[in-house]
Amino acid sequence: MGGNLAASGGIILKRLKCPECGNVVEVEEREKPVCDSCGFGGKKKSKAEIQQSGKGMFEFKGKGLSFFWLLLWTSFLTSITIGIFFPWAYCARLRWGAKNLYYNGKRMQFKGDGLDLLGQWLLMLLLIIITLGIYTPWAYCRIMRWTAEHTSFEE
């Protein structure tokens, strides 16, 4: 742990970032730093204790350049196919996000496929057009349900 010094009521505090979970911890100058979230530096909390406390540890390892490249080519293909490629682009973006997201050290995964989504997407698009946009909230919820059904932890 390493960080900045800050003065608080005459007491010098160190603001440190936990190397285990990334939580910010404030400690007095000579005090041993112990993370409230994961217990790093003191008695280490078990995963069960962390989950019971409701403070699971999320970690995202994605890089901006890789997402930029993904956004670039998926947007290009969606544009030149007049939107037909959108379900595959959506799945590629979700797959990238899931493979870079960890919860308590377990990696997420997205197993959806653009072909699985294509029929539903076309139906939702048609309903949105017919209802002049009124169907949009239901379409959004339908897409989110489909996304959740295809997202899980990596085995």
Model confidence band, residue 139 (pLDDT cutoffs 50, 70, 90): very high
- 115 plus 43 within the same structural domain: no
Looking at residues 49-56, what average pLDDT do you find? 60
Number of structural domains, the chain?
2
Taking alpha carbons only, the member of 103, 110, 105, 73 closest to residue 89 is 73
CA 125 from centre of chain:
27
The pLDDT assigned to 13 comes to 63
Mean pLDDT of the chain: 82
Parent domain of 43: 3-56
- 85 plus 107 within the same structural domain: yes
- 83 plus 117 within the same structural domain: yes
> Per mean pLDDT, which range of 36-45, 60-69, 91-100 is the poorest?
36-45
- 36 plus 65 within the same structural domain: no
- 36 plus 94 within the same structural domain: no
- 7 plus 30 within the same structural domain: yes
- 93 plus 129 within the same structural domain: yes
pLDDT digits (tens, 9 = 90+) for 68-124: 999 999 999 999 999 999 999 999 999 999 999 998 888 999 999 999 999 999 999
- Measured CA distances, 84 to 71, 92, 112, 152 (Å): 16, 14, 16, 26
- Tokens representing 125 are 């698009």
- 84 plus 133 within the same structural domain: yes
- 86 plus 98 within the same structural domain: yes
- 71 plus 28 within the same structural domain: no
The pLDDT assigned to 148 comes to 95
